[in-house]
Amino acid sequence: MNRLLCLSAALALAVSTSAFANAHKEAPAMGASGAMTKQQSKMGTCNKEAEGKKGDERKAFMKTCLSAEKMSQQDKMKKCNTDATGKKGDERKAFMKSCLSA
């Protein structure tokens, strides 16, 4: 009976330790409030965009990505409209599509 009790306690300890380790790996790093900070969110976005890049290319990309200020959609629209001056029809439409999706 004593051996069964020790075995079940050891099994429970192993399962709980394993579950804690897996939960800790999967959870993203959080700020003090439990939510991701703006910088952590930006880091995740830049990391996803940097997939496939390696070495110096990745370093350079991450540096510019993390330091870049993201434009609001309205500001992006203004900039793209200004840049599209002189383009007409399908050329303008294609340019605006690529500009706004960048």
pLDDT one-digit tens code per residue, 57-88: 999 888 888 887 777 888 889 989 999 999 99
Q: Are 84 and 99 in contact (CB under 8 A)?
A: yes
pLDDT > 60? residue 45: yes
What tens digit of pLDDT does each residue of 12-22 get? Answer: 656 565 555 55
User: What's the number of domains the chain is made of?
Assistant: 1
What H or E segment, with its residue span, contains residue 57? helix 55-67
Structural domain containing residue 89 = 71-102
Residue 76 lies inside a defined structural domain of this protein: yes
The answer as to whether 27 is a domain residue is: no
Burial class (CB in 10 A: 0-12, 13-18, 19+), 99: middle
- pTM for the predicted model, two decimal places: 0.37
Nearest residue to 96 via CA among 75, 65, 87: 87
